[in-house]
């Protein structure tokens, strides 16, 4: 059965040979991320549940991103809570001095093609540029992911955007994706996996591809994703299994 890259990753994560759009699956999470704004909310949900031990500390990352260094005593206290939790379970923490934009840090240090990634931030879809299925989730779902290592997903329909040519001087990837969003609309790709391909994508740098996928959520998409190529493998220092869309895969 022919499948898109998104369908293949979700099939792999759920232990199935194949999946189809609209199907509900339970997928094993390869990487989960919380940051300084959403992390405390997740810890609060864990407290309400009465359990906070992660399924696998090596698959969770905490990144100080939005308010760092702390700009108030309230923020400082929230940072403290995350530090205590990270130390308790030996979770990777990007504290002051190693802080940064969470998606960029994940791209540079953690993401590999074929991963199923969830982040407590709507723009987690950025990481689809590296051939991963990455999506943003809320604090309640994140608490469940941290505790169990699994989440349910509805397999999204895939929409293919084929870009041709190359960027002219003064034109950036951000211009391209904003133009696409303008055509599609804020809900034009609602819960779909937006797959970007074509020689226009092939010629783009990884930074530009990250920019393209970063904005997928702004048209309502579940994720943005790009099939991995040699640029991807080199950037991720990854030379393992490669998951790509079948040539005769069906798109929405």
The stretch 45-57 carries a mean pLDDT of 97
| pLDDT recorded at residue 239 | 87
Q: What share of the chain is helix, strand, coil (3-state, %, to 5)?
A: 40, 15, 40
**Whether pTM exceeds 0.85:** yes
Q: What are phi and psi of 164, to 5 degrees?
A: -120, 150
87-113 pLDDT tens trace:
999 999 999 999 999 999 999 999 999
Q: List, in order of start, the domains of the chain with CATH numbers.
A: 5-236 (3.30.499.10)
Radius of gyration of the chain, Cα coordinates, nearest whole angstrom? 18
């Amino acid at each position: 059965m022919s499948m898109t890259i998104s369908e293949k990753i979700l099939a792999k994560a759920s232990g199935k040979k194949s999946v189809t759009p609209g199907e509900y699956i339970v997928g094993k999470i390869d990487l989960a991320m919380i940051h300084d704004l959403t992390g405390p909310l997740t810890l609060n949900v864990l407290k309400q549940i009465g359990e906070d031990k992660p399924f696998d500390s090596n698959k969770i990352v905490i990144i100080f991103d939005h308010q760092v260094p702390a700009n108030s005593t309230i923020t400082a206290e929230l940072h403290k809570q995350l530090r205590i939790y990270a130390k308790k379970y030996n979770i990777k923490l990007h504290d002051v001095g190693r802080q940064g934009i969470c998606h960029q840090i994940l791209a540079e240090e953690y993401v590999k093609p074929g991963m199923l990634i969830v982040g407590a931030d709507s723009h987690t879809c950025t990481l689809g540029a590296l051939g991963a299925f990455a999506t943003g989730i809320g604090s309640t779902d994140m608490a469940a992911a941290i505790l169990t290592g699994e989440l349910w997903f509805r397999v999204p329909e895939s929409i293919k955007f084929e870009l041709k040519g190359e960027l002219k001087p003064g034109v950036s990837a951000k211009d391209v994706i904003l133009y696409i969003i303008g055509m599609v609309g804020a809900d034009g790709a609602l819960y779909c996996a937006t797959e970007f391909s074509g020689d226009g994508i092939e010629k783009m740098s990884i930074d530009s591809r990250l920019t393209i996928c970063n904005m997928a959520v702004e048209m309502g998409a579940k994720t943005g994703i790009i099939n991995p190529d040699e640029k991807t493998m080199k950037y991720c220092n990854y030379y393992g299994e490669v998951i790509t869309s079948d040539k005769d895969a069906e798109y929405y």
